[in-house]
Amino acid sequence: MLDTRNQADRPQEQKSTTLGVRIELSGSTAMKIEFQNVDIDTSGNNAANRGLFALSSGLGGEDLDGVNLLSVGFDAVF
């Protein structure tokens, strides 16, 4: 669970860029694909800033400064 009790003195700054496309598969179905790159500011006073992401890959312990998200969805009308 995310502990937000002491977050007031650590502003959560991040920027994101999103690219998405919707593909009509038929008259009643569609597929949506979205790619989002989230750049999290970890410089200066934001060194401990994580936003809502854990900034470690867990593999080698190196710190990350961003996250890439790929979302795929299907819509259907009945």
Q: How far apart are CA 64 and CA 57, in angstroms?
A: 7
Q: How far apart are CA 40 and CA 55, in angstroms?
A: 9
For residue 61, the 8-state DSSP code is: -
Residue 28 falls within a domain, yes or no? yes
Q: Which residues constitute the domain of residue 76?
A: 14-42+65-78
Q: The pTM is what?
A: 0.63
Which tokens go with 22? 């919707």
Q: What is the mean pLDDT of residues 38-43?
A: 76
Residue 76 falls within a domain, yes or no? yes
Q: Is the pLDDT of residue 72 over 80?
A: yes
Mean pLDDT of the chain: 76
Local structure of 58: helix, strand or coil: coil
The structural domain count of the chain equals: 1
Q: How far apart are CA 38 and CA 53, in angstroms?
A: 10
